[in-house]
Amino acid sequence: MTKYSNLYRRFVKPFPGRLIAVFLFNVLSVSASILIFLMLEPFTRLLFYGNLDQLSPISTFVVAQLSRFGIFQSASVSVLVLIVFVLSLYFLKSLFYYLSQWVMAHVRSRVIADLRMSLYAKLLTLSLSNLSQQRRGDLVSRAVSDTQEVEFTILTAIRQFLTEPITIILYLLILLYISVPLTLISVGLLPISFVLIGWATSPLRRNARTSKQRLGSLLSHVEQTLSGLRIVKSLNAFQSVRDQFEQLNDEFARTQKKIYRQSDLASPLSEFLSVVAVMIVLVIGGTMALRGDSSLTPSLFITYIALVSMLITPVKNLSTAMTSFKRGLSALDRIDEVLAMEEVVKDCAQPLEVARFQECVAFQDVSFRYEEKDVLSKVSLELRKGEFVALVGESGSGKSTLADLMMRFYDPVEGTVLLDGQDVRKYRLASYRSLFGLVSQDVVLFNDTLFQNITMGLKGVTEEQVWDALRVAGMSDYVESLPDGLHYALTDRGMNLSGGQRQRISIARAVLRGAPILILDEATSAMDTESEQAFMQSLVRLREHHTLLVIAHRLSTIRNADRIYVLENGRVVQEGSHDSLKSQPGKYQMLLNINRL
């Protein structure tokens, strides 16, 4: 019941007026359609007998209304009048049907746009710990494929649930008026159809969910292959990744085959059962009409059969809607799983605003683990205002995790991170993170101009301010040499720049924000020697206005650091300046030897 109340709240409640309009337009369309078929009796009477005598009460009523205009003067004129009347009804029927579709188009587009927007907004607010447990390809599948599936299935089904039942009811009311016994027989056969169709399509929702999961795996594999295409080529691993894709693709295709077979069964099954019902009615009603002792005349019986046959389409559509609804629910379940994810890192009940960095950021006995793997253990360190602090250590020692904790991408499992003596969890996330500028090893640039990439998220920034940031990052000369300068268009992920150039653009982006604390996470990893030298000169300028936390493999870039923390297996094993540490036996000295410094 909760699921259906959620469906009502999401798809029906926001659009009461429009859905009522869809309902009313459909009633008008069906009414026009019924009138068209009611014209069969007087039309056949005119063709075979040349008069309008001995019509059924309902046809007599319709003809009487038309006769008020004095247009039935002769048989030939009457036939012409009926043809014009039927054509007019067809026009109205089509018009009202289009209007119902026209109104429903707004509902469909708005629901999907809102659903996709909610999903995207949720992805933006989720913490890295939430996202690290999901495959990117699967998330893309949910945001794009699953929302599209909801539009093609659930919303289509809702439209049919609004229109087809009223169509069936109105037809049945007219059929009951014409012949109660025949109509009761027809109605008695409908539940049997629905039970058989429901039984035939019962595994559909389960298979649809499996299909969506496998599509997510497929997209995830494609995304990983494209991201690591250089590695695939260098390792000649074409066959390996191709075999993996083929296996995932075959699994997805097998599931889709089951879905297609189950979905495609509903329509012919409902059509066959409807035709069986029509044949039963035809035999029984034909016998009644031929006996001559019934009010069901041959011409009225033809009308009745035509009306009964028209029930086949709405019944078939309703069974298809039920099948589509089951498929759509599986897609909606996957979307709701993301929307229901609890944010691990979030604001406290009454968060504090923070406008500036005054003294220091401190870690007090901080421990952290990913799932069951310990990454940091009892780490204590400080980053005082105006300092240049460096973190060094081998890969996996916990350096980047410390930076993530400082920016509150994660929260520690033990210990506390303090800003100016206050637990950072008490600050509003947005205001706290505004104190930091991050330059990571994996630079993310977008398919847009350099100017838009550097000013991303900022408003009212002048080109001169951007040039100042580029000069600090040592990138201004290169940008000036480009054909369009600041308006040079980047390709996806900025792949028309070198790795070092992308990182310097990222540095300019961080500098432009004027954040008091800059975190440079392996910022020189993709730079050549010349670029590294330019960057080291930039550090001198950065220190004048920023507190720096630099994570480095290349120890040459942190010789002038005020303090260096050396990490090993998630622990701080040494602390001091470059000059003090290089003379001490230990991990730092070993790293110096590896770097040949």
Q: Which two tokens stand for residue 62?
A: 């319709």
Q: Smallest Cα–Cα separation from 301: which of 187, 167, 181?
A: 181
* Geometric angle at alpha carbon 401, from 592 and 545, rounded to 5°: 75
CB 472 within 8 A of CB 541: yes
pTM value > 0.75 = no
Taken in order 580, 584, 590, 594, the sign of the CA dihedral is: positive
Q: What are the DSSP calls for 558-593, one per residue?
A: GTT-SEEEEEETTEEEEEE-HHHHHTSSSHHHHHHH
Domains observed in the chain: 2-339 (1.20.1560.10), 357-435+516-597 (3.40.50.300), 447-514 (no CATH)
Q: Smallest Cα–Cα separation from 539: which of 509, 578, 511?
A: 511
* Torsion (CA) 310, 315, 318, 323 in degrees, nearest 10: -130
Q: What amino acid occupies position 574? A: Q
Alpha carbon 563 to its chain centroid, in Å, reads: 46
CB 400 within 8 A of CB 525: no
Residue 565 host element (H or E): strand 563-568
| Integer angstrom CA distances of residue 348 from 56, 277, 342, 345, 518 | 75, 64, 14, 9, 25
Q: How many CB atoms lie within 10 A of CB 378?
A: 14
Which residues lie below 8 Å from residue 411, measured CB to CB, with a gap of 6+?
344, 345, 405, 425
**Residue-wise pLDDT tens for the chain (597 aa)?**
556 667 777 777 888 888 889 889 988 988 888 888 777 777 777 777 667 676 777 777 777 777 766 555 566 667 777 778 888 888 998 899 889 888 888 888 888 788 888 877 777 777 666 666 666 667 777 777 777 777 777 777 887 887 888 888 888 888 888 888 877 877 776 666 666 666 665 666 677 667 767 777 776 777 666 666 555 655 566 677 777 777 887 887 787 777 767 666 666 666 676 677 777 777 777 777 667 555 677 777 777 777 777 777 787 777 777 777 877 787 788 778 777 777 777 888 888 898 888 999 999 999 998 777 888 999 999 999 989 999 998 888 888 889 889 988 888 989 999 999 899 999 998 889 889 888 877 777 878 888 888 888 788 888 899 898 888 877 888 888 888 888 888 877 777 887 778 878 888 888 888 888 988 887 666 566 666 666 666 677 777 778 889 888 777 778 888 999 999 988 999 999 888 888 888 888 888 887 665
Beginning with the edge strand found earlier in the chain, give each strand of the sheet holding 571-576 in spatial order. Answer: 436-439, 517-521, 547-551, 388-392, 563-568, 571-576
Distance (Å, whole) CA 527 – CA 3:
54
